[in-house]
Every structure is written in structure tokens, then in C-alpha cells.
A and B are shown apart, each in its own frame.
Chain A
Amino acid sequence: MALLEIEKLNLSIGGTPILRDIDLQVDAGESVGLVGESGSGKSITSLSAMRLLPQSAKLAGSIRFNGCELTQLSEQRMCHLRGRDMAMVFQEPMTALNPVKTIGSQIAESLQFHLKMSRANTETRVLKLLDRVGLDPAKFSPDRYPHELSGGQRQRVVIAIAIALDPKLLIADEPTTALDVTTQEKILDLLKELAGENKSSLLLITHDLAVVAQMAERVAVMKDGEIVETASTLDFFRNMQHPYSKKLLAASMLKPKAEKTHFEDSKPLMRVDHLVRRYRLPRKSLFGPAQFLDAVNNVSFEIEQGESIGLVGESGCGKSTLARTLLALNKPSDGRVEFLEHDLFGLSKSELRSIRRNMQVVFQDPYGSFNPRHKIGRLISEPLQLLEHISSSQRHRLIAAALEDVGLTIDDADRYPHEFSGGQRQRIAIARAIITEPKLIIADEPVSALDVSIREQVLDLLNALAERHGLSYLFISHDLHVVRAVTDRVLVMYRGKIVEQGVTSQVFDNPQHEYTKQLLAATPDLAKTLEQLEAEA
């Protein structure tokens, strides 16, 4: 029997059509995955079901919940349903909780509002709920504030709020996208367990096919405000119909790179030797000892000429600090970095300038990496000032060559960054990085902000450029699949230390360190999950 039934739902915000003829059904006790890339309208669909849309939204069609037509319901009756019969878990645990209220009071709120529960009863229920979502009340007192918890712990609190009244329908909107993989696995397990236990339905919204394969019984694929395909999970993966679904699947299964293990030049390009980057923490008490944190703790490795080396680790492990130190933007507290056989931090200013042309950088955020006031030509030619005596015709030629290298044309040099899509902007960022013909490119999460279909194209481009120009990469990512697709060797970083390094396929197939094993086990693997599904069927 259908619990949630969306029929012919059309929605526009401020006159712009967002959703077209959405039909979606979630049966009682069923878990449905709603998949799509950013801007496909999947989040808006879920917010429509909760009637939490912005006021300028106009919707037509029907949304029935438990036989009741929600589009006709008064706001007052809707409040009665929300939180009690249907609840929601959001994407951003860091901002989903009110920072000035204790977690206990935020969980208690729906209990008190819907059930008019007494204070004492609420307190015991809150403790039970915290325990249920895996936060031991002895350690995580309800009197704590959100900022005292980590992202994963906060997401557990958000889940506790959602399940407080055993809702019939739980909507989870990208509940793990903002979390590290090891946390993601635990949160997904928790959601699955809770849904199964209460026999409640789960509508899971995600961009990740691997997550859907693990979690959902049925899949609906969204693109540009429409649902293009719906099928049971097994049918979907066995026999998908729509070309977009196929494209999505192809882009999600990245091919491992054919590794290079032999390098012609015997001298390494970069040698990092016992590098330490230490931060001073605020004193905890007036006369207490000074506290330090080694964000980069005694790190040593080498990068060969033409080698692509991956650096994986979870957020806050020190990856970006390491990258900035290698780029000579930060000074290390201890240790050495040799680049092209020069001590990077023993160079004079002008020597440093002349060596900089050999190492460039690509950042994560395709929207933050350009000065919005400059045209593309000016933006990508910025590093050219590291070269001496460049005539304007040479400059023009170099800009054209760099743009062509990344699949754009010289005409694009006259446009502003906001005229380009996220994927194109990342190409422009790469063009800027290669314009001085560097030997090393440090890429800090270069594809993490991109949709999967675009991610694949950018990774192909990076591989092709490495072939063509003999580039070396230090490729930083939290995503193991991505690292496997572009690197020859990999470093695993955990709390400021490199805990394991080796040839990428060997590390992936036969991890030695406990942390690497955890990381690999937690990473959703579409191929493996599909094998399991087939076996069960």
C-alpha cells in the first residue's frame, strides 16, 4: 500500500519551472532512492512532500500521504503531520542544529509539542533516543551544545530528532554527503536499521549510485526536474533503460589508472623530508602550558618525475596544510622540502619566484578560484609573470595553447568566469596551472565539487595532460575511487601522519595499516554491492 503518493506534481518558484510531472510512490515499509545530480530537483521534491517550500513556490498536482491530500491541508494540520508522521534528515549537520540550544532541548521539542509530554518523561525519552542513535548519554549529555560535537555526532542528533516520534516516513536528503566515508557508513547503517526496526518507509535522496544500491529497494532517477526512470534496484542496475541512467552508471564506475612504476629520470622531482607544520592552540587556562597541534606531523615522501601520486585522508587530517606548505605558501616548523634539487625554504625571494613556474595548483571550488572581475585571458595568464620577458604575442600564443589543451578555445579568453559552468571553470583552473609548463601540479580535491558525469571528463583531461606534458601530480582527495583513477602511487594520511604509502593498486587491494583498511571497507563500492545484490537474488 502506498504511503506517499506523488502524482503529476508540477512546481515553479518565482515563475521558473522546477519540477515537471513528477510521479513518485513510496510504499509502507519500503525504502526508495531518489538519484540525480545537482539542480535536478530532487531536494525540492522531498521538501514538497513536507510542504516546507519557499513561499514563492507554486505547486500543482497531488501529494497524498497515508491517503490524505497534503496540497489541500491547512498549515495547522500540516504541522501536526510534520515531525510526527513524516520526518526529515538534512544534508548539512554542521548547520542543521540551533547553535544556542542544547541538543537535549532540541530533541525534546517535538516530544513536548506533539505529545505534550511532561518534563520528567521527556528527559528519559531523550536519553533513550540519544542511546538509540549511538550517542552514549554518559558521554554525550543532553546538556551539550551542537558546537561541542563532530559532524557525524551532530547528524546522529538530527536523526534522533527525526525518529523521536517513530514517523511512518523518514526522508533523508543527502544525509552523508557532508561526512567522511567512515562516518557515512555508520550513519547509513543506522538509518537502515532504524527504518527496518520501526517498519517505516525511507526516501533517500542522493547523488551516489553506490549508496542507492546499498540502501534502496527501488530507485527513481531525476534529471532536469523530471523523473526519467523508476525501477526496483536490481532491475534498474541489470537493465537500465534511459540513456541518462546509463551515462550516470558509466561515470560512477571509474576505471583504475594503468600505473606507471618505472621512471626514466632517477632523481626525484620533489623530496619531502620529516616535514612538520605546527600550530599554536589557544591556551586552555591562564597559566597552563602552551598547546600545540602538529597538523603535518613528520611527513616524508618523494615524487618522481612524471609520477602521479595520491594523498588520501579524511577532512581535517592535514592534507590541505601539507599542500600549502609544499607550495611554499606556509613555512614548515621543521623538516625539508627539496624541489628540483633545491631546498624550497632556503631559496632567496627571486630564486623562489623562478622555481615557482615549475609547480602550480588547482583547487576544489570552481567558483572560488577566480577573481570574478577579471576575464579568463587575464586569469589564466597570471602565472606567466613568473617567466621573464614575455612579449604580448608570445603571451597570446601561450593563452591559446593552454585553453586548447583543456578543450576550450581562444575566444573564451574574452569572457568572465561566471559565464562558464562548474566543469568548464575547473578546466580553466587547469589551463592556468599548465600555462607555465610546470613539472608538478598540486591538485587539492579538484573534482570533489563536481557532479559525477563532469568529474569523469575532468579526470580524463588530467590523465591526458600528464601523458602529453610529462606532468607529475600530487592529487589530494577524500574519494578513493577518484584517487585510483588518476594515481600511480598513494599516500594515506591520518591525523597529520602518513600511515601507509605504496603503489596504488597494492595499497587498495592489500592494505596494511588498520586505518587504510577501515577507509577501504567504508567506501561504498558500486561493483561489489551489485555483485552482492545479484548473489542475493
Chain B
Amino acid sequence: MLTTLFFLRRTGFAAITLLIASVVIFGITQVLPGDPAELILGINAQEDTLAALREQMGLNAPVWQQYMHWIGGIITGDFGKSYTYSVPVSELIGARLWISLPLAIMSLLLSTAIAIPVGVLAASRHNKATDVSIMGATQLGIAIPNFWFAMLLVMIFAIKLRWVPAGGFAGWENGIFNGFKSLLLPAIALALPQASILARIMRSALLDVLAEDYMRTARAKGLPRSMVLWRHGVRNAFIPVLTIMGLQFSFLIAGTIIIENIFYLPGLGRLIFQAITQRDLIVLQGLVLLLVGLVIFINLLVDIAYSIVDPRIKGAFHE
């Protein structure tokens, strides 16, 4: 399907971006105030013990050597050891990934599953009551901050109705259903604003497509309106929608930082927040790089998805 050139170019570009990102992230964390050795040993530690630990951690080496050491480790899967928890960072991340990743995927699926049909419905009933009320509702959905929406959900479904736990994570080991139950409210809270944005994009993209000449060609063939909409409209409208979905993943990741704090979910977002407050630089570095890498990877997937949806993009690179 894809030509190697197209694929290589995109992948190469993603790899370079990630490499630069690693330098920037490492640089940023160097600026962060706080001495890791002091963090580990406490404020009352002796100066010579501190010095010894600094030497042992390689903190006295030139910055570029520290960077090479760090990035070299990451390539082999070693993210270093947490200053505060004294466990490998990869272990910390690994455990929490199993909360954040399902959460992000659930909310992305949820928002897409709501947004696409709603957007198509609004476009097909353009300027009618259905369209106007959908647009009003999405306008509201965009304006609601996800963490406030999360609080409302907790008030209603956890405190008043007691259907779901107000926070914390039941753990996958206690049954997949219980795990999902703990993630349900956070996923809904994350998905709603994203679904509102996506539905609006879907609608306007579809309205654009509906005005295209080829839609008239299809109608002139005798195809009924609804058939034209689904067969010729939706796939073309998907091109801008894909872009937004890629961007939204980045918003979702940022969103998890707050949402996980509200629901006391021990996920990556909460880990980041803890790492910052505890000045656990090595955890912070690894985590931010991982999240940025994830965003870059998703954008790569979006680019590839483009070329599947739109043959013209492939055409520009075909051999």
C-alpha cells in the first residue's frame, strides 16, 4: 500500500523530532531547582556523604556526558532509578501505564463514537432544529472544563447515587469489570469536551464536502441524499477530522494529568505531578519523553492514516 519512501520520510522526521525533544527535556530538567543527592539523603545529610552520592550518580560529570548516559540507558530500556521511590523508573511507568493508556483509549473511543454520528446528523439536518440544538449542546460541551465536569460527575454518580466509586483504582487484578468501573467517570469527563470539538469539526467538514461538485455528480446519478452523504461525503470529511483526532490525543494526555488527580488514579498523570512536587527529575525526564514520544507516534499514525483515506497523498509519492 504505502511506498517505502513516504513511510521512511515520515518515520525519519518523527525520530529526529523525538531526539531533539530528548535534548530539550533533559535541558529543562537541568534548570529545575533542587539537588537530587540532597533529595535522596534529606536536608540534614553530611556534606561529604552528599558529595560521594553525587559522584556515584554521575552528577559531577559534564552535562553532555550525563545526557549521553541517560539517553543511552533509555535506548536499552533503562530509564534510571527514581530518587524518591528507589525503584527503576521503567517499573514505575510500566505499572501506571496500565491505568493511563486504557483511560486515554477509552476516552478517545468514546469521544469518536459520540462525535462522528452526531456531527453527521447535524450536517445532514443543516440549519434545522436538530442541527441548531446539537450545535448549542457542543458549544456548551467545549466551554465546560473537564475537571469541573469530572467533579459534577462525582457529585451525581458517586456521592448522590453511589453507582461508582468516587476515586481510586480498583485494580485490574480484582476483575476487569471493576477496573473499567473505576475508569468510567474519568473517561467520560475527558471525552465530553473532545467529543464536542470533534462533532463540530465533523459537521463543518461534511458541510464543506456537501458543497463539492462531486456531490452534485453523485446526486445526478440518481443516488438518494442519504446514500450520497454516507458513500461520498463521510470519507472525504474524515480528512480534517483525522488531523483533529491526532491533536486531541495530545489534549487527552494533558487532560489525564488533572483528571487522574481528581479521581486519585495512580496513573502517569499523577506520577508526573508527584515527580514535579518531589523534584524527582529522573522520573520527570523519562515520563515527559515518553508522553512526547507517544504524541509524535500518534501523529505519525495520523499521517499514515491520511494516505489510506486520501489516495492523492499517496499519489504524490508513488513510484
Contact = CB atoms under 8 A, between A and B. Distances in A.
Interface of A: 50, 52, 75-76, 79-84, 87-88, 90, 92, 95-101, 106, 109-110, 113-114, 145, 147-148, 158, 161-162, 282-286
Contact of B212 (A76, A95, A148, A286): A95
Given A84-B222, A100-B235, A109-B218, A90 B5 contact: no
Contacts of B310: 99-100
A99 B216 contact: no
A284 B225 CA distance: 40
Interface in B221-261: 221-225, 227, 231-232, 235-236
A147 B315 CA distance: 8
Nearest to B215: A98
B214 interface: yes
A96 B219 contact: no
A52 B220 contact: yes
Interface in B277-319: 309-312, 315-317, 319
A92 B213 contact: yes
B220 A88 contact: yes
**Is chain B's binding surface mostly helix, strand, loop or mixed?**
helix
Given A95-B213, A98-B236, A286-B8, A50 B220 contact: yes
Contacts of A161: 217, 221
A230 to B, nearest CB: 25
Nearest to A95: B213
A113 B222 contact: yes
Contact of B319 (A88, A109, A285): A285
A98 B223 contact: no
B319 A284 contact: yes
Nearest to A114: B222
A100 B218 CA distance: 13
Contacts of B212: 95
A109 B223 contact: yes
A97 B217 contact: yes
B4 interface: yes
Given A82-B221, A83-B221, A90-B216, 15 more contacts: A75-B224, A79-B224, A82-B220, A84-B222, A96-B214, A96-B217, A98-B214, A100-B235, A100-B236, A100-B310, A109-B221, A113-B222, A145-B315, A148-B315, A282-B316
Given A145-B315, A285-B5, A52 B223 contact: no
Contact of B232 (A75, A76, A88, A101): A101
B222 A81 contact: yes
B210 to A, nearest CB: 11
B130 to A, nearest CB: 15
A109 B217 CA distance: 11
A97 B223 contact: no
Contacts of B220: 50, 52, 82-83, 87-88, 90, 162
Interface centre among B212, B213, B319 (most CB of A within 10 A): B213
B6 to A, nearest CB: 10
A52 B312 contact: no
B222 A286 contact: no
11 contacts: A83-B221, A83-B223, A97-B214, A98-B214, A99-B214, A99-B236, A99-B312, A100-B309, A145-B311, A147-B315, A148-B315
Contacts of A162: 220
A110 B8 contact: no
B219 A80 contact: no
Contacts of A285: 5, 319
A90 B219 contact: no
B216 A83 contact: no
A52 B311 CA distance: 29
In the complex, the 9 A-B pairs of residues with the closest C-beta atoms, listed nearest first:
A83-B222, A82-B222, A83-B221, A95-B213, A110-B221, A98-B214, A88-B220, A145-B311, A147-B312
A90 B315 contact: no
A282 B315 CA distance: 12
A90 B217 contact: yes
B251 to A, nearest CB: 27
B236 to A, nearest CB: 6
Contact of A79 (B4, B214, B222, B317): B222
A397 B117 CA distance: 63
Nearest to B9: A286
Contacts of B222: 79-84, 110, 113-114
A76 B224 contact: yes
Contacts of A96: 213-214, 216-217
A80 B213 CA distance: 21
Contacts of B8: 286
A52 B214 contact: no
Contacts of B316: 282
Nearest to A81: B222
Contacts of A283: 5
A52 B219 contact: yes
Interface string B132-160: 00000000000000000000000000000
A442 to B, nearest CB: 32
Nearest to B4: A286
A490 B217 CA distance: 40
A283 B318 CA distance: 10
B5 A99 contact: no
Contacts of B4: 286
A148 B312 CA distance: 8
Contacts of B216: 52, 90, 96
Contacts of A90: 213, 216-217, 220
Nearest to A80: B222
A2 to B, nearest CB: 22
Nearest to A78: B222
A101 B217 CA distance: 13
Contacts of B224: 75-76, 79
Nearest to A145: B311
A79 B8 CA distance: 47
B15 to A, nearest CB: 16
A145 B213 contact: no
Q: Of A96, A158, A284, which is in contact with the most chain B CB atoms at under 10 Å from its CB?
A: A96
A110 B217 CA distance: 11
Contacts of B232: 98, 101
Nearest to B225: A75
A87 to B, nearest CB: 7
B315 A79 contact: no
A264 B218 CA distance: 61
A161 B222 CA distance: 11
Contacts of A148: 315
A183 to B, nearest CB: 18
A99 B209 CA distance: 11
A423 B4 CA distance: 51
Contacts of A88: 220
Contacts of B219: 52, 82
Contacts of A106: 217
A121 B206 CA distance: 33
A153 to B, nearest CB: 15
Contacts of B214: 95-99
Contacts of A110: 221-223
Nearest to B224: A79
A109 B223 CA distance: 9
Given A285-B319, A286-B4, A113 B236 contact: no
A79 B221 CA distance: 8
A92 B217 CA distance: 11
